[in-house]
Copies of this chain bind each other. A is one copy, B any other.
């Protein structure tokens, strides 16, 4: 038998998926029975030990309606806890031999089309299944039924070929400006494209809804969104498909009242966005490990700033963007204080590293807060009318600028490195030598009491600062800080390898960057953390794209200036990136081991930097530049906590 199946979840038809299913015997005619179903209240996969997996609910849906006729059926349910009504419907086109028969049945939790046919070689049974989906917290069951029926009718009318053609056209439009081509490692070429596609899929039809940490691919993290979205998912998405970034940020903006209320309840001003949420309320149960991670507010502001810089979308700025900048700036101003020496300190908060909590002056948090304060002041001062509407005066913006300029960054002069938060480098180092490989992830084997008070890092934290706020560090300082934290970072979080990849490449550890890039990109394809059944790790996949672009492409894009310091690991012979530079300007960069080629695809003029040299691109003539030989840096000590990094074998180049 030859069975072929093609599936798509449409980017162009809202709430439509389709499957083309073909069955054909290779030798003799054979009777085939195909069951095409809608099933609900299925038992979810349960993770037995891992507290991070969501507790699956038993039968969370109550049936409101079920029915079927001819080749279609519909099930409507209401979620028991949250009272949302959910409709799912299917219709089919069946193309088979003359004896093909179909039977439809429908029960509260199951609808099924049974197709029987005697199929012979050369006369395949071809079934197209169209699935429509809709939900609402307000609309009635009949209204929802109409809506889903209509969507389904449109999809059936368009047909499989039409849906496929529209899907391809949509995606061609994306990849034309966002593809990442890798030569020399086919597995990673596939992985990075999988990553880019999954990132797009999680976000492209979000339509002012949150982007959950697992997208819609599994029950992990209870469907909640975290800082993952703004810090990891939106940056590469901004290059691929800016409208989805605007959607995601408009969703945040719609939750602003709840965030203001939470700030007030904490004795703060402005808005305090929740650490984890679906609707905008804080869903984190243990505040030191959740709500105290205020840096999410800076990630939101940073995403707004980046979006405005690339798109110049002034309507978004006026409707949502600037208010987000202002309310997060107000939060920081009230959360921090100027000490006796005038320095602006932010005490008692939790930074990115989840093996620390409630510390003073986390470097990443402080630098991102400073940038948030400055961005808000800049945005307001350019828009005096908006300033009045948002109630911001010159006194307030002056206070933001003063705080940003006086931000306190702790430094350990004896070690010559930045502590990730005040006092961190004085703590006892984790006893890596006595930690066997099977004791990772540490959170499942050691009490948080022990993790919190020692030098052990779950995920890039100070290294996040080196990447996201790189302009505050000299290259030498970056190299020292990176090497210091390498020894301590165990990557028990999936939000680590991608950032480490980008910074490793920058400071000269290109092969190490390659290893980290592979880990981030293969996390789900190879199920490296043994929890992909709970859903894929969208942030790590998005981060893998960033690792390729910012690590091997060497792109930095701060304050409107595009600069490149490209460098390839030994195994790769070519990296090519199509990039959205500014608004409608498009750039292609092709990196080979010893040279880089820059081509202005669309646009009048673009200034870029290549290893510090200013290049002005004005035509679509490719411009080539040599890549200087890599710094032959000693690789940093193999991190003792890094139990699971698989070294990639560099292919020998001819």
Contact = CB atoms under 8 A, between A and B. Distances in A.
Nearest to A288: B288
B265 A447 contact: yes
A428 interface: yes
A365 to B, nearest CB: 13
A267 B347 contact: no
A448 B349 contact: no
Nearest to A286: B286
Interface string A423-453: 1001110000000000000000011111011
Interface residues of A, number: 31
A414 interface: yes
Given A347-B453, A357-B358, A453-B348, A426 B267 contact: no
Given A287-B449, A340-B414, A453-B349, A427 B265 contact: no
A266 interface: yes
B287 A448 contact: yes
B426 A345 contact: yes
A173 B428 CA distance: 52
A87 interface: no
A340 B340 CA distance: 29
A267 B447 contact: yes
Given A288-B288, A337-B428, A347-B427, A450 B360 contact: no
Contacts of A266: 447, 449-450
Interface string A320-348: 00000000000000000101100001011
Instruction: Please classify the interface of chain A as helix (H, G, I), strand (E, B), loop, or mixed, using the class held by over half of its residues.
Output: loop
A422 interface: yes
A604 B234 CA distance: 84
Contacts of A291: 449
A449 B348 contact: yes
A235 B448 CA distance: 34
A14 to B, nearest CB: 41
A586 B287 CA distance: 54
Contacts of A357: 358
A452 to B, nearest CB: 5
Contacts of A267: 446-447, 450
Contacts of A196: none
A292 interface: yes
Interface string A255-285: 0000000000111000000000000000000
A501 to B, nearest CB: 30
A360 B423 contact: yes
B339 A426 contact: yes
B423 A292 contact: no
A428 B347 contact: yes
Contacts of A448: 287
A341 to B, nearest CB: 8
A20 B348 CA distance: 59
Interface string A391-434: 00000000000000000000000100000001100111000000
Contacts of A349: 453
Contacts of A450: 266-267
Interface string A297-319: 00000000000000000000000
Nearest to A360: B423
A449 B292 contact: yes
Contacts of A339: 426
Contact of A452 (B345, B348, B423, B427): B348
Nearest to A422: B423
Contact of A347 (B340, B360, B426, B447): B426
Question: Max chain B CB contacts within 10 Å: which of A348, A414, A428, A446?
Answer: A348
Contacts of A452: 348, 358
B426 A360 contact: yes
Nearest to A414: B340
Contact of A348 (B345, B360, B427, B446): B427
A604 to B, nearest CB: 51
A345 B428 CA distance: 9
Contacts of A453: 347-349, 358, 360
Contacts of A358: 288, 357-358, 452-453
A358 B360 CA distance: 11
Nearest to A448: B287
A288 B287 CA distance: 11
A340 to B, nearest CB: 7
A510 B426 CA distance: 41
A75 B447 CA distance: 45
Contacts of A447: 265-267, 287
Contacts of A427: 345, 347-348, 360
Contacts of A347: 423, 426-428, 453-454
Instruction: List the 8 closest A-B pairs by CB distance, nearest first.
Output: A348-B453, A337-B428, A347-B453, A267-B450, A347-B427, A360-B423, A348-B452, A266-B447
18 contacts: A266-B447, A266-B449, A267-B447, A287-B449, A288-B288, A288-B358, A291-B449, A292-B449, A339-B426, A345-B426, A345-B427, A347-B426, A347-B427, A348-B449, A348-B452, A360-B426, A360-B453, A423-B423
Given A265-B447, A267-B447, 18 more contacts: A266-B450, A287-B447, A287-B448, A287-B449, A288-B358, A291-B449, A339-B426, A340-B414, A345-B426, A345-B427, A347-B426, A347-B428, A348-B453, A349-B453, A358-B452, A360-B427, A422-B423, A423-B423
